[in-house]
C-alpha cells in the first residue's frame, strides 16, 4: 500500500509550509494522472491530495493544463487513426479546436516546461508521415514561440527516462568543466501510449540533410561535409561548427555507454 504514505507526506509538507515548487506540482500532477490508470487507488489519492493542498489558483492552472493536453491528444489521435489519404482533411476539421481553446483570453502553462506560459496557438501543422506539431505564442512579450510534438500510439516513458538521465549527466559534466555542446530537449508521457516532445528550434535532422544532399541510396561519408561547407562560408565558421558537431556526437556516445552501464 503506497498511496497512504505518499498522501500523508504531501499533507504534512503543505501543513508545515515546506516549499514545493510550481514545477514539481505540475510534473507530479501530470504523472499521477498517467499512472492512476495502472495503480488507480494509490495515485488517485496522491492526485486528490495535491489538488486539495495546492491552492485555488494553482488548481485552476492544473485543470486548464489537463484540458489542453487532452485536447491535443484527441486531435492527434483522430489524425493518426484516419486513413492516410484522409488525414489532411481530418486535420483541417480538427485544428480549429486548438485555436479556439485560447478564445477566452486565458493563458496556460505547458507540462513540458511549467515555466513557459502560452496564450495562443501560432501554428498547427501535420503531415501524413509525422505526428502533430503545434507552435504556441508565449505570454512573455520577449519570449520566443514554443513548439512541441504531440505523439499518440508510442510509449514515451522510456524516452522520458533516458532524456532525464542525459540531462543529469550533462549537468554533472558541465559542473566539472566539460562542455560537450549538447542540446537537450524535454519529453513527457501524459498517458498510455501518448505524450509531448519539445521541438528544438532551428534543428535540422540528418534525414533532411540526406534528402537534400545525399539524393538517394545510403548516407555517404561526404554528405555532411558538403552540407557544412554550404552552411559555413568561411574556414573559421566551418571549423567551429564541425568541432561542435564532433563534441556533441562524442557526448551522445558517452551518454549511451553510461546508460548501458547503469542497466
- 208 and 128 in a common domain: no
119-153 residue pLDDT tens:
888 777 666 556 788 889 898 888 888 999 998 88
Q: Is the residue at 93 inside a domain?
A: yes
Q: In this predicted structure, what is the pLDDT of residue 229?
A: 83
Look at residue 205 in the predicted model and tell me its pLDDT.
Answer: 79
- Measured between alpha carbons, how far is 125 from 184 in angstroms, rounded to an integer? 23
Give φ, ψ of 239 to 5 degrees.
-65, -35
Residue 8, pLDDT above cutoff 70: no
What confidence tens digit (pLDDT) does each residue in 163-219 have? 888 888 888 888 888 887 788 899 988 888 889 999 988 888 777 777 776 555 556
Has residue 45 got a pLDDT over 80?
no
Question: Listing from the earlier edge strand, what are the strands of the sheet with 146-152?
Answer: 108-110, 113-125, 132-138, 146-152, 194-198, 187-191
Tell me the backbone φ, ψ of residue 129, rounded to 5 degrees. Answer: -105, -5
The last residue of one of the domains, among 110, 130, 152, is: 152
Beta-bridged to residue 121, according to DSSP, are 136
Which pLDDT value is given to residue 123? 73
Whether residues 145 and 221 share a domain: the answer is no
Task: Kindly report the pTM of this predicted structure.
Answer: 0.76
Q: 30 pLDDT band (50/70/90 cuts)? A: low
Q: Mean pLDDT across the stretch 32-43?
A: 58
With the C-alpha atoms ordered 230, 231, 237, 240, is the resulting torsion angle positive or negative? negative
Q: Are residues 223 and 94 in the same domain?
A: no
How sure is the predictor about 38, in pLDDT bands with cuts at 50, 70 and 90?
low
Kindly state whether residues 144 and 221 are assigned to the same domain: no
**Domain match, 52 and 138 both:** yes
Instruction: Round the average pLDDT of the chain to a whole number and report it.
Output: 77
Q: What is the CATH number of the domain that holds 120?
A: 3.30.1010
41 and 104 share a domain? yes
For position 35, what pLDDT does the model report?
53
Q: Which of 186, 132, 125 is nearest to 159 (CA)?
A: 186
Q: What is the pLDDT of residues 90-120, one digit of tens each?
A: 888 888 888 889 888 889 988 888 888 898 8
Spatial CB neighbours of 259, under 8 Å, sequence gap ≥ 6: 162, 165, 166
Indicate whether 46 belongs to any domain: yes
Check pLDDT > 50 for residue 17.
no
Percent of the chain with pLDDT over 70: 74
Instruction: Please say which residue of 118, 152, 186 terminates a domain.
Output: 152
Other beta carbons within 10 Å of 232: 15
- Kindly state whether residues 113 and 222 are assigned to the same domain: no
Of the pLDDT bands very low, low, confident and very high (cuts 50, 70, 90), residue 3 is very low
Which range marks the domain in which residue 227 is found? 204-262
How many separate domains does the chain show?
A: 2
Q: Residue 47 in contact with residue 66, Cβ under 8 Å?
A: no
The yes-or-no verdict on residue 53 having pLDDT over 60 is yes
In a domain? residue 144: yes
Domain termination site, one of 137, 152, 167: 152
Tell me whether residue 107 is in a domain.
Answer: yes
Question: Is there a domain that residue 79 lies in?
Answer: yes
| Domain annotation covers residue 196 | no
Does a structural domain hold residue 68? yes
24 and 87 belong to one structural domain:
yes
Is there a domain that residue 133 lies in?
Answer: yes
Residues sharing a CB contact under 8 Å with residue 63, sequence separation 6 or more, in sequence order: none
The sign one gets for the Cα dihedral 51, 27, 98, 145 is: positive
Amino acid at each position: 500500500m503506497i498511496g497512504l504514505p505518499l498522501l500523508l507526506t504531501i499533507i504534512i509538507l503543505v501543513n508545515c509550509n515546506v516549499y514545493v515548487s510550481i514545477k514539481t506540482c505540475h510534473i507530479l500532477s501530470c504523472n499521477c494522472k498517467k499512472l492512476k490508470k495502472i495503480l488507480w487507488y494509490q495515485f488517485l489519492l496522491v492526485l486528490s491530495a495535491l489538488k486539495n493542498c495546492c491552492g485555488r489558483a494553482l488548481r485552476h492552472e492544473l485543470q486548464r493544463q489537463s484540458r489542453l493536453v487532452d485536447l491535443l491528444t484527441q486531435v492527434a489521435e483522430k489524425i493518426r487513426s484516419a486513413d492516410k489519404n484522409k488525414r489532411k482533411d481530418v486535420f483541417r476539421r480538427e485544428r480549429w479546436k486548438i485555436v479556439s481553446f485560447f478564445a477566452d483570453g486565458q493563458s496556460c502553462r505547458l507540462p513540458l516546461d511549467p515555466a513557459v506560459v502560452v496564450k495562443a496557438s501560432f501554428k498547427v501543422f501535420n503531415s501524413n508521415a509525422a505526428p502533430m506539431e503545434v507552435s504556441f505564442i508565449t505570454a512573455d512579450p520577449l519570449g520566443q514561440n514554443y513548439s512541441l510534438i504531440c505523439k499518440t500510439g508510442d510509449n514515451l516513458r522510456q524516452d522520458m527516462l533516458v532524456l532525464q538521465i542525459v540531462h543529469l549527466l550533462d549537468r554533472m559534466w558541465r559542473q566539472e568543466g566539460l562542455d560537450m555542446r549538447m542540446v537537450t530537449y524535454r519529453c513527457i508521457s501524459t498517458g498510455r501510449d501518448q505524450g509531448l516532445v519539445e521541438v528544438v528550434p532551428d534543428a535540422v535532422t540528418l534525414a533532411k540533410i540526406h534528402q537534400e544532399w545525399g539524393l538517394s541510396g545510403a548516407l555517404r561519408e561526404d554528405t555532411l561535409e558538403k552540407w557544412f561547407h554550404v552552411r559555413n562560408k568561411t574556414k573559421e565558421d566551418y571549423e567551429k561548427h564541425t568541432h561542435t558537431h564532433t563534441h556533441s556526437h562524442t557526448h551522445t556516445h558517452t551518454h549511451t555507454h553510461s546508460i548501458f552501464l547503469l542497466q
